[in-house]
């Protein structure tokens, strides 16, 4: 059995968050989606569970932090090209996201990112299979 990952993120407005990520081209698995949570399909084995804040808090034994105020995680997704990186970031910004920073071009790797409506950080990266990363 292949391992799967389910990244759980709290959201203030579930329908609005679903619309945001649908604008980026993601779909939702209706089997695991209701008024409290939505299962966003990133790939065959990668999913993000968008959970209403109250539902998310039910899984915690500590306070929930605000992603707008502090950062603990950057969700990094690989892309098939630099163009896909830029196009996805452009879609995120058009849908109401905010830029994370300027694009980074390291020759062997290109990245750019955004924060979503709830302040969660997303990094998109393209690794050139023909380029050699610098040696440490």
Q: What is the pLDDT of residue 134?
A: 66
Residues 6+ apart with CB under 8 A from 26: 40, 41, 42
Contact 78, 40 (CB under 8 A): no
Domain boundaries, the chain: 1-62, 65-136
Domain covering 65-136 in this structure, CATH number: 3.10.180.10
For 23-45, write each residue's pLDDT tens digit.
999 999 999 999 999 999 999 99
In angstroms, rounded to a whole number, what is the distance separating the alpha carbons of residues 5 and 68? Answer: 24
pTM over 0.85: yes
1-62: which CATH number, 3.40.50.720, 3.40.50.10420, 3.10.180.10, 2.60.40.2220?
Answer: 3.10.180.10
For 98-131, write each residue's pLDDT tens digit.
999 999 999 899 999 999 999 999 999 999 888 8
Split at pLDDT 50, 70, 90, the class of 6 is: very high
Average pLDDT, the chain: 94
């Amino acid at each position: 059995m292949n391992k799967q990952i389910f990244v759980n993120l709290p959201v203030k407005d579930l329908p609005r968050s679903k619309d945001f990520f649908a604008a980026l081209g993601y779909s939702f698995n209706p089997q695991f989606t209701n008024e409290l949570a939505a299962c966003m399909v990133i790939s065959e084995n990668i999913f993000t569970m968008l959970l209403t804040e109250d539902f998310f808090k039910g899984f915690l034994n500590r306070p929930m932090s605000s992603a707008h105020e502090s950062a603990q995680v950057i969700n990094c997704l690989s892309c098939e090209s630099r163009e896909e990186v830029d196009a996805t970031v452009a879609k995120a910004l058009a849908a109401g996201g905010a830029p994370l920073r300027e694009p980074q071009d390291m020759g062997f790797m290109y990245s750019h990112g955004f924060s979503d409506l709830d302040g969660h950080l997303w990094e998109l990266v393209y690794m050139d299979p023909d380029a050699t990363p610098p040696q440490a």
